[in-house]
Structure 1
Amino acid sequence: MANIDPRGVLFPAYVDQVAEAQPEAIYAEFPNHPLSYDYGFRKITYRDLANAINGVAKWLIETLGPGQDEVLAYFGPTDVRYPALVFGALKAGYVMYLPSPRNSPAAHRHLLQTLNCTKLLVTTPRPPPVAGIIAAAPLDVFELPGVNDLLGTTHPHIPFTKTYPAAADERCVIVHTSGSTGIPKPIIWTHESIMRYYNMAGLAAPEGDFNQCDLTQGKRQFLCLPAFHSGGLASLSFMAVPSGMTSVCPISGIPTAAGMVAALKKTPFDVALVPPSVILELAAAPDLLDYVSQHMSHLGYCGGDLPQAVGELVASRIPLINHYGASEMGMLHLIQSPHRDPLTDWGYVQVHPGLGIEFRPTTATESELVMVHRPELTSFQMPPTIFPGIEEYHSQDLFVRHPDPAKADLWRWSARLDDIITFLNGEKTNPISMEQHIVASNPDVSVALPSPEPPAARRRHRAAVAQHRGRQRRVPGPRPHHQDAHPVHQPGQALPRSGKGTAQRAATLALYAPELDALYADADTLTVRDGPSTGPGPVDDPAAISAFIETSLLAVTGWTPDALSAESFFHSGLDSLQILTLSRTLRNGLQLPEIIPNLIYRHPNCNPNSNPPLLLLLLPSPSQPQTIILTGSTGTLGSYLLAALLNNPNISHIHCLNRNPSACSIQQSQALKFHLPALSPSDPRLTFHTTDLTRPDLGLSPSTLQTLRTTTTTLIHNAWTVNWLLPLQFFKPLLTATLNLLNFCADAPSSPHFFFLSTVGSVTPSTSPSIPEQIVTTTLPAANAYSNSKYIAEHLIASATARSPSLRASIARVGQVAGAVRAPGLWSRTEWFPSLVRSAAHLRALPDSLGPMSNLDWVPIDLLADVLVELAVSPVPSAEEEEEEEEGSEGKGNLNVYHPHNTHKVQWTTLLPTIASALPDPESSSSPMETIPLAEWRARVAADVAKTAGDAPDNLQIVLERNPAAKLADFWSVLEGVGAEGSVMVFETERTQRVSGLLGGVEGVKGGWVEKWVGEWFA
């Protein structure tokens, strides 16, 4: 605009410069009425915009006082007050937050609390969403002046004195993610964000191509995206002003093609930026498409994909341009190439090669868009504000490459990574193609969302029933009884929409949860239609079980009896839907809740000569002997685990895998040290192997490896270096070993259970006060590399189980492991609690609190070992038990997460008298034992070391021996800084207690235990 370069000038000042250079240039046009185009549009010049910004700034200062970067929220109709508020607030010292009126009350509350926003600006009359947000969160509400008041008065100029780069990292405006897959997250655009966008937009296109943004340079654009949407806000302000583009804005409400045409009949525009729903409507309305094609140069869309048939129909009448962006990355700088076919390639985007964008394969056909932050690209990439400091931003958007090798730089959006559905057989599908086909084939359907089975049932996925038109049927047609079991339901409420107009998947499934629960609760009616009406029940007669399997299989499939002799059911044509029905039939008829589809996938035959046949697996076997692999047996916990395994009569053999060739003798020494039962090298139940777990063959001979592959029933992976000071790189070999052991279990004919010892540190810190028994994804780094490595290992295990349906795995997040209580066994003096007690004896003072750790859920190591062995060797929870899984869990039934923590918690304050009385009497002091605040206790620890070491620097080691808590200064500082009860995290234990009967029998930390531990430290 007016040849004024926006780079290096903060935007409020830039608008003032443009208004001074070209005051009568048209900035935008807004509808005269918020709900109708019948009253035409009001032209806003740059003089008007600058004046409105000054008016808002003046009103804010007079109403609220000069701001100190406080966040203000705003709801209002689509008019000039949106941009005026964003930049007027900056002049007044405030930052605007623009929420979507379509957010749920829970989303509003979460975002407002996250941003510490307590003030809401509204218009008169108040928009309908205002009542909902006020009910969701306590807010002070202020009514903004009307448009006529802002524009009809000449306001004094208020300068914006901040400059770039001094104010680069200050907040400019706050928007939020769409919430398509859950609670929206706030997105903070700083002044640096805007500058980097300008740098990105200034990149020259490769030779022979042109920048896609050139299509709107100096044009009049109908901006169908609302002003509170990140794309709408950017297009209305940061993108429009420097490019000389005039924005024609819509009325309030969901954008429609009919509305766009109504606007076009009132004021001309060359191009439009719309959501996919508008393109869908145009394709279904020839008269609207005709008018648009005759009065506009092209249509741009963003926010989702279009069915190919729909896009081709529209592209045959008017050029169709796909835009791509994300709140976290901004609108990416795209280019257009002459080798595109405008009729078929409209859905593909071509990212400028200078942005650091990579497409990382996630499936055989799909790749995730990843922005890689490199120093040389910093000035062209939006700074990551949700996850500061990250080196890569994973968009979770999947793309498919153009099939023509000559167009390999073209990519088409395919799905969100979290949209992908994983079936019971481990296969995956992208539901977007289903959704698009249903919508394209049914004019009365505007949106379709395949629903995974809700938490009230195991996370199976139901088959969708849809009508299919056209000559080609892309998915199998519905079976009549499935239509009966899953009838068509008339929605009683509109689907929740994001700010960009797309359906919010998570909110929709939550809205219809009762109906979906009811559908899945009735799922077993399929078995009535497809299988025998009754079964033999819980019998142990092989003939009866075999006959019922065969009868059920024939009833479900319609096969003739000769098909039963095939080597595999799949050779006879068994499909996934029949497996689902068969598993239900067998589960009900034999009253065996552990019969799940995976069992049939892994053993698809009735042949007695198979290994093993399905029949054998269905015979009762309450106490089959087990063969265990244990890694890291020579460590402290490993020694107790080995003792617990040897004490279990159902375990026939234990293979200990250790790096040290002297592991057997070390193990004997450990048994003596911890007063465990003596080990004999000739014990027929015990074998020690020297291994290298970083090798794919585990460093074992082929014959030994084969023996383990065919006999192992459970692999307990305990080998991990416990050191909080090592860098993450150190743990890479341990992660490699984890992958190799996972591969061993996945490939072994015996399908051993992989049991991994993790730590509570893997999921702390956390933004949630409650930690579920499931895989947790977080962007908050753990306190040390040891915990981070366990976090990575947990996700490696989750990924492996998702990819391999035959792999069964469990993760046990171990908490505070206390000293043994059933026999002498020293709790290491170097750990934090022994160090605290020993320093307390020296200082004659105990802290009155442990901050967030004051609620003690400690488990003595010998009792913990028994619980862990019980969890490792117990059967996988039954199908009915898995129905209680929380939403967001892995949900496939082959990965469990356990929290083996003491369920009888004890407050730290109740143990203080016992600790004080158990401490030895001081030799040179008669001072009583004090109980003082944690902060004061920490200060005494530091002061004692500073004084004593200062008097005799050479005796520092002696000082630290008497006052070992000084070595853990950072630990105490964290406890003090986090705070007390309000910051306590609760680890859920419901599933763990369900599987382990021993855990509930572990008593809360007892005074007698404390006396034993203290006595051993001072012995």
Structure 2
Amino acid sequence: MASIVLSPVPAPSSSSSSTSTAPSVASPATSVTEPEVEVLEETFHTINHLLQSRAKGHHGDDPIVAYPSSGTDYTYYTPLQLNTFVEAASVHYAKSIPQRQSSEDPVQVVGLLAPSDFEYLITLLAVSRLGHTVLLLSTRIAEDAYVSLIENTKATFLITYSSFQTMGEKVAERTGIIQQPLLAREDYDSPSTATLSLPSAHLDGAIEAKHVCWIIHSSGSTGHPKPIYQTHSGALRNYANNFGLRGFITLPLFHAHGISCLFRAVHSEKLIYMYNANLPLTAPNLLSTLEEHPEIEILYAVPYALKLLSESAEGLQMMARLELVMFGGSACPKPIGDKLVQNGVRLVSHYGTTETGQLMTSFRERDDLDWDYVRPGPSLLPYLRWEEQMPGIYELCVLEGWPSKVASNRPDNSYATKDLFEKHPTKANAWRYYARLDDTLVLENGEKANPLIIEGVARNDPNVAEAIAFGANKPRLGLFLIPSVNSHCKTEDELIETVFPSIERCNAELPAYAYISRDMIHVLPPDAVYRKTDKGTVIRSAFYRDYQEKIDQIYDAEDASGDQLLEGGELVAFLRQQLLAVAPAIDPSTLEGTTDVFSLGVDSLQSIRLRTTILRTLDIGGNKLSQNFVFEHPSLQAMADELTRLRLGQGPAEQIPVEDRMAGLIEKYSSNFKIHASVPRDREGEHIVVTGATGSLGAHVVAQLAQLEHVKTIYCLVRANSRETAFRRVHQSLRTRKLSYSMTPAAERKIVALPADLSNPIRLGLDEVIYDHLVHAVTAVMHCAWSVNFNWSLESFEASCIAGTRHLLDLCLDARGPRPARFAFCSSVSTVARTPGQWVPEALPDTLSCAQGMGYAQSKLVTEHIVNRAAQQTGMTARVLRVGQIIADTIRGIWNTTEAIPMIFQTAETIHALPQLDDILSWTPVDVIATSVIELTLAPVAGDVVNVTNPTLNHWTRDLLPLLRQAGLEFEELPPRGWLQRLRDSNQDPDANPPIKLLEFFASKYDHDRPNRALLYDTKLAVAAAPALREAGGLTPDLVTRFIRYFRTHCWTTSPNAKTTLQPAREVIILTGPCGSGKSTAAHALAEQFNLSVIEGDDLHSPAAREKMANGTPLEDRDRWDWLAHIRGAVMDRLQHSTMLGVAVTCSALRTVYRDELRRLSDLLDFPVAVTFLLLSIRDREQLKKRMVDRSAMEDHYMQSSMVDSQLAILEEPMLSEGDVITLDAGRDKADMLEEVKGVVQGILHL
């Protein structure tokens, strides 16, 4: 099967030349110079301008950013690729966040709450490309902090990653902000996304440069976080200040230092490696990257990372090999810094603030060991003022005029940093960081905690005279208590027990990193001496210096090893007990020996506390326990194994090959299958469980099952927290794909959405009553759900996917019937992508190494084996359906237009040529695949493993190109290299010529003479049981015409029929149906609920038509044409002169041709208009007539009940092609009907 995808560039080689796509090895030390802000040869107006310039520049196809595909396995991205991804992502986000077309359009603030991964980078660049400001939100602050930032910045949209969905919903409820999901990787990097392109915007560079690009916020350690505004011009000046070295960054992009380091790399066109946001910050993970990538020249890190690396000789050697090691975010403890420098590490301190940008570093000659003294450069010196706060201690102020300063807090527009420095005793212009002027405690991981809150709580106890928190540059906070003179507590423990309940209540309101645990509370003598101000408050910095030895003893004691010897089950039981003690929120029933503890919600502080308990209790043979012990061994069994290894002095365990890990999972989930108890069935028909109904294939499966007469119920198992949420998710999925529009109310009532957790071995997380109902009803399970994350490792798929499949198999075996319920698993051809040769049989592959080299494919192959063993061991019908490439549906021709193949098609429009490729095509429409899945699941006889790929193959040049020509494309056929050359010579503007963005990708595919390798799939078993697949046929003129028409009318701005704007469409909701169905009632309910105008169609009939109907005479078509024209005109007028979201129209529109007349509204205005029909369906004549009688009595309406018969006589059910008609049951209770109408319209309006 031939496929074309946008692939990342190859991994760089350290031996390649500096002019190739691969970076060279580190340059000599003498080439590294102190960065200075200079006048740029090229002026960039905006961040987007910088990226696009880099994409079009001489190094546009050289790697610029590297991010792991999984673990520390890096994938490399060029500016060209970043630009392509950002363009596709921008188009997706523009559906909700309008693109600014000119500099007069308002700039909106868009919040971003997500892990700092590659998707995060693409999203912030996409929002910037749309012309808006990004509010970069830390993932570690409280709900009130998010609300404060959103309200203060007047943010209008909030983009959230799935794990922050609940927090986003809470914030949206309090602020009214519109929440949007973060795009997944496949939304911008897949064969279907490569052709997406934004309309051209006409922005004034000089104006845009003054707009805010990022809003970064303070830590909120002394109150709510404060927003810090960075303009494009200020940020770009800051980014121009760089060392010009290839780097490795461990800081998140929502930190000022993190985002600055990344864009300095982009500015200097030097490759930067981003740390995997899904990995804990551990020495092995850091070393893995540094060892495997010798081209890295500079490490950007927080002091905590340096501490981890400094704990081993290997880490010290690796850092000494680098040109520079730069830290920021907090001060590096002097013992650690001294150790690094003494071991040859060129350690450089970075100092800057969010408000001022980078200011100073401790860059110096190699023989200068004063790593902790920063030195202002010549260009900065005129803009600094040092204000003495205490003898020899100065606060730094940055004066007005410094290019990257974006905030002021003094009358003279200077910015006082509140950072204190001390002068070098002999060297001029050398300053060592002393402390914050305020009381913030910065932990070793860079988190900033405010000690005042917890101190105040403790100090409020009458038994406490003073409380002082400590922990600067330490892993966690501690608290000193000084008893009051009148304390009633006789012992230190008694004082702690008295105070701790109040502290524990305070802990619940603090970030996890600011938590004070009981073991970190220590009591000083009542007569302890400490320095105070004139006001009687503790002088914090002096206290810490005076009590430094005591503080060090407390933290040293945490690493003191215990003497208890535990082995095997006793050791696991001990770890379990201690983990539950430090993390009481864990449900003990979910904690097994191999459970990933972080999947249960364990946080970093709890892992530190567990490590401390282990060290204080257990004998580990005098060995050192890694600071990230729990992160590196995240299950009870893994911790026990590592502790045993350390105690026995054994060497580190070897990495288990992935094939062995796959085999282990197969064995784990293929044992002890339940024994089915055969009983007679007590109900008729098919009752089918479907997973994945919120995805494309699953939604098509559900929609088709609902239309089958012998299918009585479809149970959709959905991740949701309530039945209502599950219902909304399923029905929104169907509506989004226009699948519910042609459903009858009876068909739609078959669908039952249930909130479930497939990873839960106890009834799939379902209520006992519901699960019992399923057991008595289910006849088949169609498993279409799978996590689509190509960055996950194999083990990450275990709980939700692999174990989830086993739990579904158990459901089938629990089924009450003569045989177990049938089971079908929708696998993927990626499980056999590495099959030797060219032929893939309908069987399990010979070896587990046949799976594509990513966790997604490996986990699916593991599951293929589990399903196959279930069939062999239990005799149940359990089939593996290995699904191939899916394309547009046959009805509407909708195909994701950013894929590479559609973008090739677009070159017919932009360069009037298409390549003569020698590719074999096996393309299957999604609705055909869905039908085939149903047939293969319900077939009495079928293969245990089948390849669900199109058996009819096509050839690109011989078959597809003529069909494209028939569909209306005009093009010249060229050999691949000739086509590439014409593309190279064409317009380089990606807005006018989107395929140019994939030029290098196309070149990598076709600029050679190597023959293509295409796998062919045996489908004999599949087509024998699936008539839909057997009869699918290859590409047809009709299908090709449908998707080309879709491309030309919706996506290709170069096409004559293309929409040239992506501004949100104005909605026209037309309530249709016979008289008495409730159209007017529904319309006015919508107007009250939403910002919609109402047009009553009955008011627009001519006097003659009204008289006809009042006399009981049905209207003829000629009467209706004029009426429909009047309605169109009224809607157009209302849309042009109203600012409302849209219009609700009442109009019977009983026939397809009448609806076609109203559909013309989509083409009659110079802005987008979306027309949707809500058909209020009711066939009970008597009920309709009674409603008309009641209405006439109340309103004296001219329409008589006698008109019901004539209206029902001409009523036409929507045709299959009428995807814009949603049929609703109007025969129910009025309140229920109105609630459903409101729900549907809410989805249409994206509210």
TM-score normalised over the length of structure 2: 0.34
**Higher relative contact order (CA closer than 8 Å, sequence separation 6+):** 2
